[in-house]
Amino acid sequence: MTNPLLAPWTGPFALPPFAAIADDDFAPAFARALAAARARIAAIAADPAPAGFANTIGALELATEGLDRVAGVFFNLAGSDANPAREALQRELAPELAAFRSEVVGNAALFARIEAVWAARDGLGLGPEEARVLMLTRRDFRRAGAALGAADKARMAAIRARLAVLATAFQQNLLADERDWVQDLGAGDLEGLPDWLVAALAAAGAERGRPGPALTLARSLMVPFLQYSPRRDLRAAAFRAWTARGARGGATDNRAIVAETLALREERARLLGHASFAAFKLEPEMAGSPGAVRDLLTAVWAPARARAEEDAAALTAMLAADGANGPLEPWDWRYYAERRRRVLHDLDEAAIKPHLALESMIAAAFDVAGRLFGLAFRPLEVALHHPDARAWEVMRAGRHMAVFVGDYLARPSKRSGAWCSAFRSQRRHGGEERAVVVNTCNFARGTPTLLSWDDARTLFHEFGHALHHILSDVTFASVAGTNVARDFVELPSQLFEHWLEAPEVLDRHARHVGTGAPMPADLRDRLIAARTHDQGFATVEYLASALVDLAFHDGPAPADPLAREAEVLAGLGLPHAIAMRHATPHFAHVFAGDGYSAGYYSYMWSEVMDADAFAAFTERGDPFDPDTARRLERHILAAGGSADPEALYRAFRGRMPGIGPLLAGRGLAAAG
């Protein structure tokens, strides 16, 4: 029988034939797709015709399309619905795919053709996007070691293969720790918890086959439990379990993986002539150097820490008033910060969440996209990768733009966090294709599913990434959508979050799940006014992780990463009651792959731009100003990576921003 992963996908919108795919199909599909890709690469390298853009760079763009198609399905499934068969294959594939990558960049004849095209570029009549793709292709090959000698190429290939194995192990260990820990809760353990949280804990218990309500390590359960449980003993136990992921000893402990990963990254950078892995990694980003990153992070650290210390004093007084002994601890902060928010802003999550049903917030995100960019969303009845997932066709003026898939609910088989990925990217080269993009989240399921304010912000954030794919309008897939500099990729996502706070969006969509009544205006206004509440804490816990990430990679690799982590945090003066947002053994951004390594700073780098970019709308007096929206689409969302990111931002805004809007947006401008 024909393997459904390799046969033409003839269903609606050429979606993957999920209903026909079995786990046993993946290994043979990868084997055949790899063989086909190798043959196409070999043909490009051996082409007797002189090297030109079309027969070299353009051909490379299409050489792995079959492999990319199979990988797009598999790795989306591996992250969102893992099972033993998929995890085993993922472990097998990691070194095999790394070896294929090493073969490609190590192909001397192929690299010689790329260099020949580069040398002749001025006489080829290339358009701006073609010139950009040529530059990026050559840079990618050189940064992967294509110009190294034979011995160093071999060592680079071995490093790449080992790093792939380590990243896969890190991710699977973390998922195992998250999947295996569960705490049954008796009636007395539910004291003080709001009804919506009790219902979510009951749903989690039922999903895990427990006798009653249960707490898991899903963020959508853990954070509200830490916010609302008056039981300090339970909060402490839960927090310790949550922060111990990846560091519990035994087969799933990630500490040795982290140390080896850092050492191999340093060796990789030095083989390529860089002083450190951070210097290597940041060279092609907007930041350009570790020094530029450190300057930004430390400029924000001082006012953020000052605000956090002020808040800690207030929370410590509340703790003492409750008769508790000892200092404010990390498991106390969220509980007392939530109580303080109720006092300062008269806000209660129990009054907010019924207005933030999942369905309403999806509708709100779609509505904003419609008002800004003219997009419409039509539900689709199609087979998808999991029963929780849903799909919509995205249209504009009668034209098909993309398929959007939302997979929003937490489950034990899904890795933690929220992310945007694609089964297919937009392109014109090799035939017109539109994106199939998926947002994956981990919201606690309910009947109905209700979101916290942070959950709603996460939904908008990930949909901002999706818009980068949906509105992509480039020729080459390699620069489509989110294929941009790492410290530029978060601009569309963080920018889209601002529309969640637009009063007219809340008035239209934040309606009570029971009565349909809009959120009362005074509640809405208090919620928006409280946007900077506890931003000292939020900023410090983020910056602590970003600065540790930078320290790990800017200099010799530490033999004991946790000792280096402690040294960095002590040097920063991290307040006792605030922990890193992502402790090293579960810092998946940095160690479950190479994407955010030496790059966790990028959220804040992008935030400098997103705060300024939204000001482009407010300066016009309309968060839906049509002219500004058109410029945003043209220069940012549609352009992808087809031009230099700073040039794109300047084309949109006319200049680059300072950090003033960021500090003001976080309520830190007067701190320090």
Active-site residues: which are they?
A: 462
Query: How many residues would you count in the chain?
Result: 672
Retrieve residue 36's tokens. Answer: 């086909």
CA distance linking residue 393 with residue 562, whole number of Å: 47
How many beta carbons lie within 10 A of that of residue 398, not counting itself? 6
Is residue 116 within 8 A of residue 627, CB to CB? The reply is no
Helices 150-180 and 255-271, interaxial angle, to 10°?
Answer: 160
Structure tokens at 505: 């969006």
Burial status of residue 518 (CB atoms within 10 A of its CB: 0-12, 13-18, 19 or more): middle
List, in sequence order, the alpha helices (H) in 395-489: 453-470
DSSP string, 82-143: --HHHHHHHHHHHHHHHHHHHHHHT-HHHHHHHHHHHHTGGGTT--HHHHHHHHHHHHHHHH
All residues at 6 or more sequence positions from 20 whose CB lies less than 8 Å from its CB, including other chains: 4
How many degrees, rounded to 5, is the angle at CA 405 between CA 359 and CA 7?
A: 155
In sequence order, which residues have a C-beta less than 8 Å from that of residue 535 and are 6 or more positions away?
A: 304, 307, 666, 667, 668
**Which among 644, 615, 639 is positioned nearest to 628, based on CA atoms?**
615
Question: Measuring CA to CA, which residue among 338, 623, 296 is closest to residue 454?
Answer: 338
Radius of gyration over every alpha carbon of the chain, rounded to an integer in angstroms: 25
Q: Show the tokens assigned to 522.
A: 């005074």
Pairing status of strand 399-409 against strand 435-443: parallel
Q: How far is Cα 630 from Cα 479, in angstroms, rounded to an integer?
A: 20
Degrees to nearest 5, angle at CA 228 with 222 and 231: 95
Q: Are 26 and 89 in contact (CB under 8 A)?
A: yes
The b-or-e profile of 252-282 (16+ CB within 10 A means b, else e) is bebeebbbebbbbbbebbebbebebbbbbbb
Q: What are phi and psi of 288, to 5 degrees?
A: 90, -30
Task: Give which of 600, 599, 560, 588 is closest to 166, Cα–Cα.
Answer: 588
3-state secondary structure of 442: strand
Q: How many CB atoms within 10 Å of residue 562? A: 15
